[in-house]
Structure 1
Amino acid sequence: MTEPKIFAHAGQGAWTLTPDGNRRRVLLSTDELMMVEFGFDKGGVGALHSHPHVQASYVAEGRFEVTIDGRTEIVETGGSFIVPSGLVHGVKALEAGRLVDSFTPHRADFLA
């Protein structure tokens, strides 16, 4: 692996469109941990899915309807949630917003 990036500054990095019509940018990544910012327009959906990575998410801006393993809650700016490995989860943006997600181990599919 290339040398890990250990600092990120606001606004750095290019946005990539996601298959579900949102956008993401990888902020930092090592083999063990990755931090990714996701941007959503109002009504944007992060479709239900699962992956082997443990995910911790922080709502940097907005309000999201978050579903994890069949349980749904509204999480607003400053709130957070964790998705254990393998659980089905997804979000709906109730207003325009941003999530900052950490994944362990890193999401190799986001680096391709």
Structure 2
Amino acid sequence: MSSSDLFVSAEGAEWVNPEPGVVRRIMTYLPEMMMVEVAFESGAVGAAHSHPHIQASYVAEGSFEVTIDGRTEVLKQGGSFIVPPNLVHGVKALEKGRLIDAFTPHRAEFLK
């Protein structure tokens, strides 16, 4: 890794549209960890799914209905949640908002 890889400007990150009303961009990553910004329109859903990565998420803006392993709670700006490996989880944006997700290890499929 070169020293230029240690810093990523917002302009250098490409947005992708994984689901209706949802866009995400990789903020930075190493093999051991990845940070991703995910923006949601009001009512948009991050469909229930699971993966072998540990995921920690911070509500940077808005409010979300978050379901992890069948348990649902509403989190507002400043709230956070963590998802152990392989648990089914998903979110619904109760208003326009953004999540900052961290994954360990990185999500290789996001790099394709």
Partner of 2:102: 102
Instruction: Please state how far the C-alpha of 1:68 moved relative to its aligned partner.
Output: 0.2
Q: CA RMSD in A?
A: 1.5
CA–CA separation in structure 1 for the residues paired with 2:45 and 2:32: 27
Instruction: Please state how far the C-alpha of 1:57 moved relative to its aligned partner.
Output: 0.1
Listed as ranges, the gaps of 5+ residues in structure 1 are none
Identity within the alignment, %: 60
CA–CA separation in structure 2 for the residues paired with 1:50 and 1:90: 9
Q: Give the structure-1-normalised TM-score.
A: 0.92
CA–CA separation in structure 1 for the residues paired with 2:8 and 2:76: 24
* 2:110 partner SS: helix
Instruction: Please state how far the C-alpha of 1:10 moved relative to its aligned partner.
Output: 4.2
CA–CA separation in structure 2 for the residues paired with 1:8 and 1:67: 31
Partner of 1:41: 41
Q: Equivalences for 1:1-112 in 2 at 5 Å? A: 3=2, 5-18=5-18, 20-21=19-20, 22-112=22-112
- Name the aligned partner's letter for residue 79 of structure 1: G
Q: How many residues align?
A: 110
Instruction: Please state how far the C-alpha of 1:11 moved relative to its aligned partner.
Output: 4.9
CA–CA separation in structure 2 for the residues paired with 1:11 and 1:76: 27
- Name the aligned partner's letter for residue 88 of structure 1: V
* 2:109 partner SS: helix
Which structure dedicates a bigger proportion of its chain to helix?
2
| CA distance 1:11–1:93, shift in 2 (3 Å) | farther
CA–CA separation in structure 1 for the residues paired with 2:36 and 2:2: 18
CA–CA separation in structure 1 for the residues paired with 2:87 and 2:59: 19
Could you tell me whether the CA contact under 8 Å between 2:10 and 2:27 is conserved in 1?
A: no
Listed as ranges, the gaps of 5+ residues in structure 2 are none
CA–CA separation in structure 1 for the residues paired with 2:68 and 2:49: 10
